[in-house]
Each structure stands twice: as structure tokens, then as C-alpha cells.
Amino acid sequence: MGRAKKDGRRVNFYMKTEVLDLLERYSDEVGQTKTEATERILKSYLEEYFRKAHSTGHGHLNPSGLKTMWKI
């Protein structure tokens, strides 16, 4: 029997060395892969961002339907 498909998509981006060094240090200290650490950090940050945008009423709906605090 084969492996189950992963629920996600591959992401490729450039990261400053200083930030990557911090991510590697963090992931080593908490025992997570860099992918796990990045997912959890981003999820936590984005959930807080949208919670604040919703609670303060400073957000607006962009074309994708997501609430944002800044008008771009």
C-alpha cells in the first residue's frame, strides 16, 4: 500500500541568512523540523493578525475574501 498524499503544497522562497539561522536554532531547540516550525509560527502569527483585524474593524475584504489590516 502506498503513502497517503500530503495535504499541502511545495513552497520555494528566499530567506535572509539571519532569519534562517534563527529558524534553524529554534527548530533544533524545540525538536521540530524547519517545515513544522515555520508552519506553526506562520499559523500562529496569521491567526493573531486576522483576529486583531476582525476585532478592531480595521480590516477590509480583499478580492480573495481574506480580511487584511492594510490596504494594498
**Domain boundary assignment for the chain:** 33-58
Kindly give, in sequence order, each residue whose CB lies less than 8 Å from that of residue 24, ignoring residues fewer than 6 positions away.
Answer: 34
Q: When comparing pLDDT for 9 and 61, which is higher?
A: 9
pLDDT above 90 (res 63): no
pTM of the prediction? 0.67
Averaged pLDDT for residues 49-67: 69
Q: What CA–CA distance (Å, rounded) separates 28 from 21? A: 11
Q: Kindly report the average pLDDT of the chain as a whole number.
A: 84
* pLDDT tens digits along 2-37: 888 888 999 999 999 999 999 999 999 999 999 999
pLDDT category, 72, cuts 50, 70, 90?
very low
Please classify residue 68 by burial: count the beta carbons closer than 10 Å to its beta carbon, then call 0-12 exposed, 13-18 middle and 19+ buried. middle
